[in-house]
């Protein structure tokens, strides 16, 4: 049976002018509004699937995207497997059961999908992205950053495409990649994160709607930052995107993703899958600035961010580096990992995770040393405030053939106040005696004397906290591409507003 889709307005409020809406919001919402400046809803028409999940929905999504038969089969296989799986319960997070039949799995802004020209993008959508600080106009954009923007389920435009194409670089939406580069997608999609990998990865495989695909050919150094902005707009909608990056021999790319969502009372699910592949001497640097709506001060609403990110250093001397600044989401569950298969390959994980109010984060990494002389480095900085809970969970595995593997892990926690929690769960499995694995951990509190010292120099408490926190997180922030470091610093400050004093 083919489903009919409904065209519906996603929202009735008139949000675009911040000052205008403020008056109509309850006092709690306005209080939060100052904290979360991306909380507006865009009034655009959307095509949506009805709520709920079954095989017909999977077929509907596939048909919407005009997918070839093999892709549909791949999705159905994932869906059928997902039905047999159970939600993981081992993370240090608590939330009420998710009703998977109460989610809309597909919502697209009702505009021509995949505009050939960026000028064809709906002006309302364009304004949304401008409000987020992202200009889709090539001439106006940050120089040197190519952007793909995904709203709800669909990518709405990729810029700089032609310049990149001249170098043989493919940077496009996942939907387009399925159409235009099926051989690459068949070869690499789910080659790092199998569709059966875990509950949320299987769900994603069944219903994923878009995301970015990026292919860097042999010997090419991508001359600009590639980035994707994800935005959840529609109500009751889950966002399930997939990102796949392949770096051929001797190539390099730096990629950044940013995420925001409107403020809503109900929780929304975000279950993404990201796969990275590096061949001999190739390097991928993947940075995330995650600022999904964290819920209000009472813990109502917010995004469940259940994400599977994994990279494989397939080639000799290749490198994958994850950097993440996680400030948003009511719950974060993610462990960007690296499989160090190629000899002499290097994996890195740099993370700042901030939790405030009722937020919960269980995040970390998995470094799997399989090749010889492989190295990994983990730097995790957890910052907890309010009544939040922040856990680092990491696994360093050294396989029996991984001679001379090296790992260094540093996990630091900073507490603001005494009602929040910080936890560290480091797991180490070593099957080869030549390995050297080092782990250091510290927990500290922002001291009254540090704040007073700043106050005495004319710096108010909120600014003082921002300075102290940014100092604490500096080693990770330094890993971010320059263009985004300043933004990320501000984000840290904003997400901790009102947490001290």
Partner 1 sequence: MLKIQNLHANVEGKQILKGINLEIKAGEVHAIMGPNGSGKSTLASVLAGRKEYEVTEGTVEFLGRDLLDLDPEERAGEGLFLAFQYPVEIPGLSTTNFIKTAVNEIRKYRGQESLDAVAFLKMMKEKMALMNIDQSLLSRPLNEGFSGGEKKRNEIFQMAMLQPKLAILDETDSGLDIDAIRIVANGVNKLHTKENAVLVVTHYQRLLDYIIPDFVHVLYNGRIVKSGTKELALELEEKGYDFIKNEIDVEEQV
Regarding 459 and contact with partner 1 (CB under 8 A), the answer is yes
497 binds partner 1 (CB under 8 A): no
In the set 473, 488, 492, 494, which binds partner 1 (CB under 8 A)?
Answer: 473
Please state, in angstroms and rounded to a whole number, the distance separating the CA atoms of residues 195 and 31: 41
- Residue with tokens 């038969």, as numbered in its chain: 69
State in angstroms the smallest separation of the CB of 411 from partner 1: 15
Q: Is 36 in the site for partner 1 (CB under 8 A)?
A: no
Nearest to 205 by CA among 98, 335, 308: 308
Does residue 458 bind partner 1 (CB under 8 A)?
A: yes
**350 bridge partner residues:** 323, 379
CA 387 – CA 419 distance, rounded (Å): 5
Find the part of the chain contacting partner 1 (CB under 8 A) among 14-22, 281-289, 291-299, 445-453. 445-453
Nearer to partner 1, 245 or 473 (CB): 473
Query: Exactly one of 144, 474, 486, 490 binds partner 1 (CB under 8 A); which one?
Result: 474
Asked if residue 343 lies in contact with residue 373, where contact means CB atoms within 8 angstroms, the answer is yes
User: Phi/psi at 199 (nearest 5 deg)?
Assistant: -50, -50
| Site membership for partner 1, residue 449 (CB under 8 A) | yes
Question: The sheet that has 252-260: what strands, in order across it?
Answer: 154-158, 145-151, 225-231, 252-260, 283-290, 319-326, 346-355, 375-384, 406-415, 436-445
Instruction: Report residue 78 as tokens.
Output: 């994932």
Selected binder of partner 1 within 102, 452, 486, 490 (CB under 8 A): 452
Name the minimum Å distance from CB 463 to partner 1.
7
CB of 254 to partner 1, least distance (A): 23
472 binds partner 1 (CB under 8 A): yes
Per rule CB under 8 A, count of chain residues that contact partner 1: 23
Tokens representing 426 are 């480091």
468 binds partner 1 (CB under 8 A): yes
Backbone dihedral angles phi then psi of residue 13, each to the nearest 5 degrees: -65, 165
Smaller CB separation from partner 1, 183 or 449: 449
To the nearest whole angstrom, how small is the minimum distance from the Cβ of residue 470 to partner 1? Answer: 7
List beta partners, residue 349: 322, 378
| By the rule CB under 8 A, 440 interacts with partner 1 | no
Contacting residue, 470, 485, 493, 500, with partner 1 by CB under 8 A: 470
Q: How far apart are CA 386 and CA 265, in angstroms?
A: 20
Q: How far apart are CA 348 and CA 320, in angstroms?
A: 6
Q: Which of 119, 180, 429, 448 binds partner 1 (CB under 8 A)?
A: 448
Q: How many CB atoms within 10 Å of residue 91?
A: 20
Q: Which stretch binds partner 1 (CB under 8 A): 100-108, 230-238, 278-286, 470-478?
A: 470-478
Residues forming the site for partner 1 (CB under 8 A): 447-450, 452-461, 463, 467-468, 470-475
């Amino acid at each position: 049976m083919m489903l009919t889709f409904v065209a519906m307005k996603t929202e009735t409020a008139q949000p675009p002018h911040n000052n205008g809406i403020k008056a109509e919001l309850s006092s709690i919402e306005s209080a939060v509004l100052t904290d979360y400046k991306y909380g507006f809803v865009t009034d655009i028409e959307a095509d949506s699937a009805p709520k709920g999940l079954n095989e017909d929905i999977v077929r509907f999504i596939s048909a919407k995207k005009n997918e070839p038969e093999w892709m549909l089969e791949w999705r159905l296989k994932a869906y059928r497997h997902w039905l047999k799986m159970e939600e993981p319960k081992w993370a240090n997070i608590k939330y009420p059961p998710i009703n998977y039949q109460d989610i809309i799995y597909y919502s697209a802004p009702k505009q021509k999908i995949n505009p050939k020209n960026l000028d064809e993008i709906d002006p309302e959508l364009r304004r949304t992205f401008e409000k987020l600080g992202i200009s889709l106009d090539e001439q106006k954009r940050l120089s040197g950053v190519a952007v793909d923007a995904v709203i709800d389920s669909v990518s709405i435009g990729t810029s700089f495409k032609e310049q990149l194409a001249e170098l043989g670089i493919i940077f496009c939406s996942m939907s387009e990649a399925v159409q235009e580069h099926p051989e690459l997608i068949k070869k690499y999609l789910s080659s790092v994160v199998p569709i059966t990998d875990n509950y949320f990865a299987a769900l994603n495989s069944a219903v994923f709607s878009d995301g970015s695909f990026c292919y860097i050919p042999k010997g090419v150094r991508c001359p600009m930052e590639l980035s994707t902005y994800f935005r959840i707009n529609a109500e009751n909608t889950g966002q399930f995107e997939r990102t796949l990056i392949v770096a051929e021999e001797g190539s390099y790319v730096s990629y950044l993703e940013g995420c925001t969502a409107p403020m809503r009372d109900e929780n929304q699910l975000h279950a993404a899958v990201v796969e990275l592949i590096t061949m001999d001497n190739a390097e991928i640097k993947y940075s995330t600035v995650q600022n999904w709506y964290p819920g209000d001060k009472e813990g109502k609403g917010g995004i469940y961010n259940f994400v599977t990110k994994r990279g494989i250093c397939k080639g000799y001397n290749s490198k994958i580096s994850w950097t993440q600044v996680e400030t948003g989401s009511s719950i974060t569950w993610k462990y960007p990992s690296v499989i160090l298969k190629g000899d002499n390959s290097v994996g890195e994980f740099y993370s700042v995770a901030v939790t405030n109010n009722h937020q919960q984060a269980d995040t970390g990494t998995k470094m799997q040393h399989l090749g010889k002389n492989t190295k990994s480095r983990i730097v995790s900085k957890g910052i907890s405030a309010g009544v939040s809970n922040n856990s680092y969970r990491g696994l360093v595995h050294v396989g029996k053939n991984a001679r001379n593997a090296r790992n260094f892990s540093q996990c630091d926690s900073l507490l603001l106040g005494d009602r929040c929690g910080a936890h560290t769960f480091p797991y180490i499995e070593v099957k080869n005696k030549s390995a050297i694995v080092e782990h250091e951990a510290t927990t500290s509190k922002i001291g009254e004397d540090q704040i007073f010292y700043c106050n005495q120099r004319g710096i108010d408490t909120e600014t003082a906290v921002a300075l102290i926190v940014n100092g604490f997180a500096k080693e990770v922030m330094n890993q971010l591409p320059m263009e985004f470091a300043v933004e990320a610093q501000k984000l840290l400050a904003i997400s901790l507003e009102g947490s001290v004093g």
